[in-house]
Structure 1
Amino acid sequence: MTWTPHATVAVVIEDAHGRFLMVEERSSGRVVFNQPAGHVEEDEAIIDAARREALEETGWEIEPEHFLGLYTYKAPSNGVTYYRFCFTGKARKRVTEELDADIIAAHWLSLEDIRRLGDKLRSPLVIKCIEDYRKGRCYPLDVIANPQT
């Protein structure tokens, strides 16, 4: 069996009221909450994947501002190791109500509301990324090289 890495992106987006853009979605028969996130597609720049996933899952056009970090998570449900490239960004405008099929809704939630979700969070990375963001962790976007541009 050939091992294939799973590259994903996520974006931590906070509004002026201290709420975070979150996605309520169906995953493996459960309803869970996550940042706007998803897989990087073939030949897609990682930052472009973050913009695309946020739009498809929330209807919001976003602009990545900083690279938050690279996170590794092995999901106990399927044994897959995911490499999450997480960004911070700003929501620019809501441009559509149409969301991906597995998405139930997009929500703006306070950190307290997110913490109360407990085991309804898709993974421990949801809180970890928000905590790193709140600590002021950020790197310039150009730490991720894209030789095609």
Structure 2
Amino acid sequence: MSTRWKPNVTVAAIIEREGRFMLVEEHTSEGLRLNNPAGHLDCGETPEQACAREALEETAHGFTPTALVGVYLSRVPRAATGEDITYLRFAFSGEMGPLDTQRPLDDGIVRTLWMTPEEVRSSAARHRSPLVLRCIEDHLAGQRFPLSLIHADVESMP
């Protein structure tokens, strides 16, 4: 019997303030990498709920998604682990809330950084995936879709 292929569904918060973007520096199997605040969709969550949760866990800031920047499909072979993973990412722009100074950052997150678009571009070799820059470039280009584009049948969710 063959195994059914399933992409990993992820969400990302594209957070901009005064021309700078918030990234997280995190430990990965490939070493210290930069990423948008991002993570996996959990059972029972809508993509918007997952994005708000992941942003809070990784940055200690509340985040309210206000628009969908895009939906991205990316295959990422991981040399260090031999894994070949496909990600389906929902990236959101939105409003950042205040910092919760009592909240620790998620395991593996070293710190948050505010970077200019040029700093993000020049650090591409340190990005966790090519989607980090692509989502920021789409945000800078003004790409926004209404949240109503995503329909979640919440009545059928646990």
- TM-based fold match above 0.5: yes
User: 1:1-149, aligned counterparts within 5 Å?
Assistant: 1-15=3-17, 17-77=18-78, 78-96=83-101, 97-148=103-154
Unaligned 5+ segments in structure 1 are: none
Tell me the amino acid that sits aligned with residue 9 of structure 1.
Answer: V
Cα gap change, 1:29 to 1:76, in 2 (>3 Å): closer
CA distance in 1, matches of 2:115, 2:61: 15
Q: Give the drift of 1:147.
A: 2.4
* Alpha-carbon separation, structure 1, partners of 2:43 and 2:97: 26
Greater alpha carbon shift after TM alignment, 113-122 vs 80-89: 113-122
| TM-score normalized by the length of structure 1 | 0.94
Aligned residues: 148
State how far apart, in whole Å, the 1-side matches of 2:119 and 2:30 are: 23
Deviates more, 1:23-32 or 1:52-61: 23-32
Paired-residue identity, %: 39
* 1:81-108 deviation per Cα after TM superposition (whole angstroms, max 9, x unaligned): 0000111112121114411111001111
